[in-house]
Amino acid sequence: MSKKVIQPESNGGVSPDSNKTYKKSLQKLQGELVKLQRHFIECNDKILIILEGRDASGKDGTIKRIVQHLSPRETRVVALGKPSERDRTSWYFQRYVPHLPAAQELVLFNRSWYNRAGVERVMGFCSGAEHEEFMGSVSNFENMLVQSGIKFFKYYLDISKTEQKQRLGDRKSDPLKQWKVSPIDDQAIKYWKAYSQARNEMLARTHNPITPWTLVRANDKRLARLNIIKDLLGRLHYKGKDKRLIRPDRQIVFPYNVSNLENGQLEK
């Protein structure tokens, strides 16, 4: 009897049926991340990555795989909680500024200031004037970060309504994922269309040549993780880069364009 041969996906990763192949691919890419870290420490670079997306879109898992084998002294993950009363009366970006990377650091934001364009907007946690002020100033703020020397990347992870519902249900039944359960979870499904509209406005108004958005089709968690890492590695310079490993699947990870919603690349 002939053995079943599992073919890799074109350019972008592995068959989701092959856990062994996935782990092997991930390990090689994590090796490239270690090379990257060694390089940006030597060069005093500052790298900032923000991951936004639907609830349960895979941000936690992606960040975990990126930082898994990196030096914790030069790597930080930022996931800020509910703003305090003081935060609410401060300049909106103020509580994020202390967490920005210094020289030799890689910082990943698990959600970011774009909360104001997403959950705060949909759930009424900010006023219309506050939302509009944010949308009008965020690109200037981010351009300042780039001008200061920060290498800055924005990823938005998108999943289907069916996939989100399944993942949120899994959280409630898995004792190891209880820390992820939030009262907001149930609202994610209820306000699906409102979140879609907020996402569309956010992408359209905050995408620009200096700080562009990169979109990720994340229904398959493993392919999303691999391709985000590949895309990131491909956009940064470091010594000893293995270019054969870092070609992302542009059906999975791709630059934002106004046509993304019309051509079905983003969930409605």
Selection from 153, 152, 186, 154 nearest residue 168 by Cα? 186
Give the predicted TM-score (pTM) of the model. 0.91
- Indicate the range of 124-133, 151-160, 177-186 predicted with least confidence: 177-186
Strand ranges for the chain from DSSP E: 46-53, 75-78, 105-110, 150-158, 213-217, 253-255
> How far is Cα 47 from Cα 202, in angstroms, rounded to an integer?
23
What is the spatial order of strands in the sheet that 150-158 belongs to?
75-78, 105-110, 46-53, 150-158, 213-217, 253-255
Domains by residue range for the chain, with CATH? 19-255 (3.40.50.300)
Which tens digit of pLDDT belongs to each residue from 32-79? 999 999 999 999 999 999 999 999 999 999 999 999 999 999 999 999
Specify the amino acid at residue 264: G
The mean-pLDDT minimum among 75-79, 171-175, 195-199, 207-211 falls in 171-175
- Whole-number Å distance between alpha carbons of 23 and 27: 6
Placement of tokens 């406005």 in the chain = 201
Measure Cα distances from 6 to 3, 9, 66, 201, 246 in Å: 10, 9, 25, 40, 20
Q: How confident is the model at residue 17 (pLDDT cuts 50, 70, 90)?
A: low
Q: What is the pLDDT of residue 163?
A: 97
pLDDT tens for 233-242 read 999 999 999 9
Helix (H, G, I), strand (E, B) or coil at 48: strand
Spell out the residues 6+ positions from residue 215 whose beta carbon is closer than 8 angstroms to its own.
Answer: 155, 156, 158, 203, 253, 254, 255, 256, 260, 265, 266
Q: How far apart are CA 102 and CA 55, in angstroms?
A: 29
Give the Cα separation of 23 and 172 in Å (integer): 27
Q: What are phi and psi of 47, to 5 degrees?
A: -125, 130
Dihedrals φ, ψ of 228, to 5°? -65, -45
